[in-house]
Amino acid sequence: MRVFNFSAGPAALPEEVLRQAADEMLDWHGSGMSVMEMSHRGKEFMAIHDEALADLHELLAIPSSHQILLLQGGGIGENAIVPMNLFGTKPRADFVITGSWSQKSQKEASKYGSAHIAASGQTADGFTRAPARAEWQLSDDPAYVHLCTNETIHGVETFDIPDLGDIPLVADASSHILSRPMDVAKYGVLFGGAQKNIGIAGVTVVIVREDLLDRAMPICPSAFEWKTVALNNSMYNTPPTYAIYIAGLVFKWLKKLGGLPAIEARNVEKAKLLYDTIDTSSFYLNKVERGARSRMNVPFFLADESRNEAFLAGAKARGLVQLKGHKSVGGMRASIYNAVPLEGVKALVEYMKEFERKGA
């Protein structure tokens, strides 16, 4: 029996992707090899790689001004890789702080230059807001402005993306990329670790505007220098081939569903169901401002926190797993990424109502 998995990442994958991966494990399309065993230079894997990139281009409607790079190191790796790639001539950037992830990005960037905090969404209740553009106090001529467009831990999503003119906007979209259409042209750099909506941990998608490929610091490692990666079609070092294959299967699944507008409609419905359940009860609580509530990561608290363990145990007994909140926040968190079906959210809210009514 498969559970409903609300993990923040690595996270649920579409069951049909897993079935196809299992079916093709020993012999991919008559090649006599597993995808795991293929040379990254061979024509079989090149076809898998190129098709995954083409599908991602199509899904996100990526303009020709931007390139997709596939790296390793995840979001935390990218926290260093971004400044190492953009601080070559101007070692300073601005950061909009909306939660733990943008905090980490700011701290890491300060190893390579000046990392100015332009705005913060911190309140007495923790990180509960997405500061609007009018609040951002940008410094003079920064190399870029960093924004985490969805904070996985605090459940804060930024929906209103400003146009910064000549200043490149760098977005860490790890935990909501592919959850809805995005206007990629607004971003200088858009990156995301794969282990939420893209596939499995170990590959990072970095979408870069081409004019930003030439600004690296000399100390940037070759394996992570975007220009080198771009010139080598993301094969300067051996890419994480199997993670790219799984991402490709997820992209096909998304296309078959109807692409990002279709998955957005599903995600809106799922999020509404869960937030409505929380809001119509005094038993559960979410502290994030309504306009900044994440559709992907829904942290919530029980009014009576002494019931937390009972809540989690009852959930697990019903096959609803990974609901414990991040240790820095406490309470609960339901991550309802693309691959978590509506049925999973329905099962969760039914359980929440039942628990409220009569306990686990």
Q: Which residues are annotated as a binding site for pyridoxal 5'-phosphate?
A: 101, 152, 172, 195, 237-238
Residue 241 binds to a second copy (criterion: CB under 8 A): yes
Locate all alpha helices (DSSP H) within the chain, ordered by sequence: 15-23, 43-60, 74-86, 100-109, 226-231, 241-257, 259-279, 308-317, 342-358
Contacts of 118 (CB under 8 A, 6+ apart): 94, 95, 96, 136, 137, 138, 139, 145
Helix/strand/coil for 11: coil
Query: If you search the block for the tokens 């996985």, which residue do you land on?
Result: 152
Identify the H or E element spanning 191.
strand 189-193
Residue 9 binds to a second copy (criterion: CB under 8 A): yes
Amino acid at position 12, single letter: A
Q: Which of 49, 75, 116, 154 binds a second copy (CB under 8 A)?
A: 75
Catalytic, 107? Answer no
Q: Which of 191, 224, 226, 251 binds a second copy (CB under 8 A)?
A: 224
Catalytic, 253? Answer no
Stretch that binds a second copy, among 30-38, 49-57, 206-214, 292-300 (CB under 8 A): 30-38
Catalytic pick among 28, 94, 101, 226: 101
Q: Which of 36, 54, 185, 268 binds a second copy (CB under 8 A)?
A: 36
Stretch that binds a second copy, among 19-27, 89-97, 291-299, 351-359 (CB under 8 A): 19-27
Token readout for 180 is 């809805």
Provide the angle, in degrees to the nearest 10, between the axes of the packed helices 74-86 and 100-109: 40
Strand-pairing partners, residue 120, are 97
Token readout for 316 is 């697990």
Q: Which of 58, 77, 91, 307 binds a second copy (CB under 8 A)?
A: 77
Phi, psi of 7, deg, nearest 5: -60, 145
Residue 329 binds to a second copy (criterion: CB under 8 A): no
Angle at alpha carbon of residue 337, lines to 335 and 338, rounded to 5°: 160
Catalytic, 327? Answer no
CA gap 284, 275 in Å, rounded: 10
Token readout for 281 is 């009860």
Stretch that binds a second copy, among 68-76, 93-101, 205-213, 347-355 (CB under 8 A): 68-76
Q: Which of 145, 153, 243, 247 binds a second copy (CB under 8 A)?
A: 243
Stretch that binds a second copy, among 116-124, 133-141, 215-223, 256-264 (CB under 8 A): 215-223
Residue 259 binds to a second copy (criterion: CB under 8 A): no
Helix/strand/coil for 323: coil
- If the CB atoms of residues 137 and 222 are measured against a second copy, the closer one turns out to be 222
CB half-sphere exposure, 48, CA atoms < 13 A: 25
**Residues making up the binding site for L-glutamate:** 41
**Minimum distance from CB of 161 to a second copy (Å)?**
25
Q: Give the catalytic positions in this structure.
A: 101, 172, 196
Chain contacts with a second copy (rule: CB under 8 A): 1-3, 5, 7-13, 15, 18-19, 21-23, 25-27, 31-34, 36-40, 42, 45, 72-77, 79-81, 84, 108, 111-112, 193, 195, 199-203, 218-219, 221-224, 236-243, 246, 319, 321-322
